[in-house]
Every structure is written in C-alpha cells, then in structure tokens.
Amino acid sequence: MALPTPAPPVWIDAPEPLADWVAAQNHTPRLAIDTESNSLHAYQEHVCLIQASTPESDALIDPLGSADMAALAPLFASPSIEKVFHGAEYDLACLKRDFGFEIVNLFDTRLALRTLGMQPSGLADVLAQEFGVTLDKRYQRADWAKRPLTPAQIEYARFDTHYLLALRDRLADALQHAGRWEEAVEACAHLACTVHPGTNGDPNGFWGMANARKLEPRHAAALRELYAWRDETARQLDRPPFKVIGDEALLSLARTLPQDADDLRGVPDLPPRLAERHADAILAALERSRSAAPPRPPASEPTDPAVLARYDKLRQWRKAVAAERGVESDIILPREIMWDVAHKAPRSLQALEPLMPCLPWRFRAYGSAMLACLWGTDTAAT
C-alpha cells in the first residue's frame, strides 16, 4: 500500500512566521528535528536549514533569512516537548555552536536502535527498511547555503524528519517490550549533556593528524608551518581545509622537506596540480620552519599503572556484558565514566554513585558488578 503524499512543507525565513510557528508548538508533545549544514563547502560550517515535523505538518526553517533563531531556544529547552533526532551528535554540536541551543528531553532514534542491539547506518537506510521510503543520498553533500533551494532539496530535507515521529513510536514500543526504555532515555539525556562543538583555527591542531607525534623535531616544525598556511588559505577562500590540500599531502611534505619546485613534483600524496598551484606558498612555509623552534607535543598527563589496570578491568567487563547483550560496548557505559571510576577507585556503592550522576539506571544495573570487577566479590557494596 502506497504511503499518502504529505502536504508541502511550510517555509519559514522571517520573524513573524517563525514566531507564529513557535507559538503553535507550545503544546506539542514532540518535535522531529534535523539540520543541514555546509561542512563540505565552507571554512567554518554553519547550520543552513532546520527541519521540524509534527504529526500534522513539516516545516523548513531558514537560518539564512531574516528570522531570529533565538525564538527557537524555548522549544529546544522545554522539558515538556520531546525532541526527536536520528544520530543527534552532529546536529546538537552545530545547534549549540551556531545558536547556543541547549536540547532538553532528547530522543535519538539511532541510539534507540543501538540500545536494541541493531546496527543502523544512515537515516536513508532506516527509512527504506521501515517505511519503504527512498531518499536521494546525493543531497547529503549539497551546498545547503545556496539559495534558492531546489525542489528536490526541499523534498529531501523534509523527509529527513517527516517519518521520524512514526519511527520513534515504533522504537518506543520495542524498547518498552524489551525492558530497555529507561536505559535508552538515560543514554539520550547523557548525549545531550556531552556535546562539544568543534571549530577550525586551532594552531596546534596538526598534532591530531595521524602519526604527527612520531615526527622528528624538524619535520614537526615543517608540519606546523604547513598546517598554519593551509588553515589561513582555507579561511581566505572560505573552503574546508581538506579542500585546499589533504592531510596525507601535508605529512608527506613535512617528511620529505622539498627544497624547490622540482622536488615538490616528486612528493608522495601531493597531486601535481596542487604542487604547481601552491608551490611558492608551500616552499615559503617550509623555509619558515627551518628557522623556527621545533614545537613540543602537548604534554599528556602520566597515568598511574594502577589506574590503567583498573580501566582495563572495566573495559574487559564492559566488553563481556556488551557481547552478552548483543550491543556495542559504549551502550553499556561511556568511556569517560570508566576513566573517572578507574582514577577515583571507589570501593562502595556510596562512593561510586557520585561518579555516575547522569546515569542512575546504569548505576543500579551495573554498580555492584563494576565494584566486583575492580575488587572482587568480597568487596562491601553498601
């Protein structure tokens, strides 16, 4: 049976329509939300579209118009309105970075699927499996900052949220039936509290590149100068840094230290067109590195062997529990909680509970097992 054709989405790009739409949602129990950004097309990406669906209608909210996005903040912060996302991490980070939004009462359908032991990929695959709906994945890479959006883009964008509420209801029933509802809700709340927006422009970001810490000092100095040149060039062109020149090419330049244009043509991973286009700038960056003090890698805090041993015990315990459940390990317990427990070394439930303030369900479900894992079954758990 074919699904009914939904009404066209509402386009909102001005203050009054946005205020009217927000007012109409004050008593809505839940909203499906998604965002589209221009991460593949700009130096510093930004949210270019916010999709929102209720059971009755779909809305496309344009942050690039004249509407003040601050009008949405009360909806996102309202504990009485559930916000339904699919794979929320990226959307939450973008909404917080660009507009300062705090998301309260989050339900992430991808996290719900993972809690049930399913391994979903993108939303397009989930919608195809659950509703027989086909999304054109080409638009995942579109430049959403361009206006006007094409009819095909508008259709793609609205279907990112149109079926999310129905999917949410199916998953809620499955979670309740499996006895996993509270666990999933807790995981969603923890996700909403642990979002860390990212930005370009960190002068020490090159240390995060693969094998950068293994470079000798003069090669690390070259990488630092090349990284700074790429970042500034990307900023001036308003392009993502990787579209100026890739990480592998930067690392090859830093390792080989070419002296002139002829040397550049033989550098592995450096396409000839980039060697020709950026020859002067690359050679100038390498020349600067020869007289610069070598950079020192960021100091990492030495870890007590006892802490590492406790963490490894918890990691092995988590892996075994996850395998028994048929889920991925982070569904059982977040990695940062295990590190905190390994550092603090609690010996009782009273000492463990403050280390898991946002995870009361997991504390009740796993607290005693965690203590037994660390200290043996004879440890007092009261």
The single-letter DSSP state of residue 202 is -
State residue 202's pLDDT score.
Answer: 87
What six digits make up the tokens of 276? 């020709």
State residue 140's pLDDT score.
Answer: 87
Other CB atoms within 10 Å distance of the CB of residue 150: 11
State residue 382's pLDDT score.
Answer: 46
The single-letter DSSP state of residue 104 is -
CATH of 305-375, picked from 3.40.50.720, 3.40.50.2300, 1.10.150.80, 1.10.260.40, is 1.10.150.80
Q: State the burial class of residue 368 (Cβ atoms within 10 Å of its Cβ: 0-12, 13-18, 19+).
A: middle
State residue 378's pLDDT score.
Answer: 56
State residue 1's pLDDT score.
Answer: 43
What six digits make up the tokens of 181? 């509802």
For residue 33, give every residue at least 6 positions away whose Cβ sits within 8 Å of its Cβ, in sequence order, or none. Answer: 50, 51, 52, 83, 84, 85, 91, 161
For 175-327, where are the E strands, in sequence order? Answer: none
For the chain, the domains span 10-193, 205-290, 305-375
For residue 63, give every residue at least 6 positions away whose Cβ sits within 8 Å of its Cβ, in sequence order, or none. Answer: 46, 47, 48, 49, 50, 69, 98, 99
List the strands of the sheet with 58-61, edge to edge. 10-12, 58-61, 47-53, 30-37, 82-85, 106-108
Helix axes 181-193, 164-178, angle to 10 degrees: 130
Considering the entire predicted model, what is its pTM? 0.90
The single-letter DSSP state of residue 88 is H
The helix (run of H) or strand (run of E) holding residue 85 is strand 82-85
Q: Is 205-290 assigned to CATH 1.10.150.80?
A: yes
Return the half-sphere exposure (C-beta side, CA atoms, 13 A cut-off) of residue 227: 22
CATH H-level superfamily of 10-193? Ribonuclease H-like superfamily/Ribonuclease H (3.30.420.10)
Separation of CA 377 from chain center = 38
- Is the dihedral angle over the CA atoms 60, 64, 66, 68 positive or is it negative? positive
Residue 165 three-state SS: helix
* Strand-strand pairing, 10-12 and 58-61: parallel
pLDDT in tens, the chain (382 residues): 445 667 899 999 999 999 999 999 988 999 999 999 999 999 999 999 999 999 999 999 999 999 999 999 999 999 999 999 999 999 999 999 999 999 999 999 999 999 999 976 688 889 988 898 888 888 988 999 999 999 999 999 999 999 999 999 999 999 999 999 999 999 999 999 888 777 778 899 999 999 999 999 999 999 999 999 999 999 999 999 999 999 999 999 999 999 999 999 999 999 999 999 999 999 999 999 999 999 998 877 667 999 999 999 999 999 999 999 999 999 999 999 999 999 999 999 999 999 999 999 999 999 999 999 999 975 544 4
Q: How far apart are CA 261 and CA 243, in angstroms?
A: 21
10-193 against 205-290: fold identical: no
